[in-house]
Amino acid sequence: FTGRSVWRTQQKQLYQRDYNNVVSNIGRYSSLLAAEGDDDSEVNGISEAIEEAVAEMESSEEEKKEVAEEEAEVAEEVEEKVVLEPVPPASFSIESDNSGPSGSTVHTLTVNLGAPGHPEPLVFETGKIGRQAAGSVRLTRGDTVLYATAARDKDPKEHIDFCPLSVEHQERFSSVGLTSGAFNKRDGRPAEHEILTCRLIDRPLRPLIADGWRHETQLLSWVLSYDGLRSCDPLAITASAASLWISDVPLLKPVAAAQVGYIDEQFVLNPTIEQMESSSLNLVVAGTKDAVLMIEGAADFLPEKVMMDAVTFGHEAIKILCEGIEELGNVVGKVKNYSTLPPPIEGLQERVDELMTEKVDAMYRMTGDKAAQSAEMSMLSKYVVETLEPEFPEKALAIKSCYKDLLCRRMFEMAKTTGTRCDGRALSEVRRIDIEAGLL
């Protein structure tokens, strides 16, 4: 837009100069006529005629300028039509050599996604950097480089009933050749976008870590170099998942992610930032080669079929990535650590189901506010622990886990068989949303 503004300013200056020259000539011609003794009315008539001609010339020039601007805008729109260059077919290959420190083995996975407009392959490298981490991966796409590590504590945490997984993602200033100019030369606290990226990484990975894993686990993702062309969010998810997969943390399946745009009625895989300005869809898809685990994004009132096709389009790229990452894990050869996972207690889930199924169903059929149903759910949790703890001593956490499993199964079964959610809404019914303008 800066170039167009300069052009308009120059044209305006030229028109003003021509106008001043015409007016000046009118004044000189009028003076000559007056000096020769001609009638003032003749002079005024000539002046009026010249002024009318100048006005017509200005209006004509304005029309031409408007037409030229419209043609330029149309030409720019035509030029902005996305043209996707052909790429190699979807494939992956793995190479191994002894180029690491002290002759250590380095494994390199190269993945071609096979999507038009995405010519750069994704290159995963492990074995050269971060060799003492449980798993480390350097992911390269063009001139963008990400480094992801997975580390876990030696001993499991006692007396907790959740997976102690933490995720950190940092887009360092140095990735674009910048250094903080403040007194504190470090990068500082995470930005909002970095925190949201951490959530994108956590969401598809946490459910796939084996039940009962209680080792404190940390995923770190750093953007070491950024070319400024495409978003790094899908790369951060994929690199973190790859580092976790090649480690001994019991991740059940490899995970990958892709970004999908919709430009000129065609899907674009991992579009550039410039292409996203004209895209009516910004969708991040994460999943395994078998299913989609997470979608995140926004769309400009697109039909449902377009959204479904977009998810399918992104999942096709995820499949080839997951197949390559799975094979990379086989080549690296780290054995998953299942030794610290607590074995299931024989007969406990059956006893919980027998004791609590009818009570849970009655709780889900309750009509009223959410607070009453939550209070009933908490009371049932205490009841099942108090009832079964004498039969299964020192297994309160396991009893609660089985109770939560029953809650999930009965909620799903109720929606499937009756077509009603646990809060009374039909499957096709959206929760009521109240909006009030001018509140403050």
DSSP 8-state secondary structure symbol assigned to residue 88 = P
Structure confidence at residue 439 (pLDDT): 79
Higher pLDDT among residues 15 and 239, named by residue:
239
pLDDT at residue 11 tops 80: no
Average pLDDT, the chain: 86
Q: What value does the mean pLDDT take over residues 335-341?
A: 94
Where residue 17 falls (left for φ over 0; alpha for ψ -120 to 50; beta otherwise) is: alpha
pLDDT at residue 17 tops 80: no
178 three-state secondary structure = coil
Q: What value does the mean pLDDT take over residues 228-256?
A: 96
Rg of the Cα atoms in the chain:
34
Higher pLDDT among residues 189 and 247, named by residue:
247
pLDDT at residue 428 tops 60: yes
Distance, in Å, from the CA atom of 352 to the CA atom of 405, rounded to the nearest integer, reads 10
Q: Which of 235-249, 290-304, 342-356, 423-437 has the lowest mean pLDDT?
A: 423-437
Structure confidence at residue 84 (pLDDT): 75
φ and ψ of 47, to 5 deg: -60, -45
Tens digit of pLDDT for each residue in 198-215?
A: 999 999 999 999 999 999
Of all residues in the chain, what percent are helix, strand and coil, respectively (each to 5)? 45, 20, 35
240 and 265 in contact (C-beta within 8 Å)? no
Structure confidence at residue 177 (pLDDT): 76
Higher pLDDT among residues 174 and 406, named by residue:
406
Higher pLDDT among residues 177 and 18, named by residue:
177
Q: What value does the mean pLDDT take over residues 391-402?
A: 90
Higher pLDDT among residues 433 and 322, named by residue:
322
Q: Please report, for residues 11, 82, 318, the alpha-carbon distance to residue 204 in angstroms, rounded to integers and kept in the order given.
A: 57, 31, 13
* Percent of all residues in the chain with a pLDDT value above 90, rounded to a whole number: 61
14 and 57 in contact (C-beta within 8 Å)? no
Give the pLDDT band of residue 378 (cuts 50, 70, 90): very high
Structure confidence at residue 100 (pLDDT): 92
Structure confidence at residue 91 (pLDDT): 94
Distance, in Å, from the CA atom of 40 to the CA atom of 385, rounded to the nearest integer, reads 112
pTM summary value: 0.76
- Residue type for position 76: E
Give the pLDDT band of residue 88 (cuts 50, 70, 90): confident
Q: Which residue has the tokens 């909006």?
A: 435
Question: Would you state the structure tokens that stand for residue 282, as one six-digit string?
Answer: 């910004």
303 and 234 in contact (C-beta within 8 Å)? no
Structure confidence at residue 21 (pLDDT): 65
pLDDT at residue 52 tops 70: no
pLDDT at residue 2 tops 50: no
Tens digit of pLDDT for each residue in 154-193?
A: 999 988 888 999 999 998 777 877 766 665 666 677 889 9
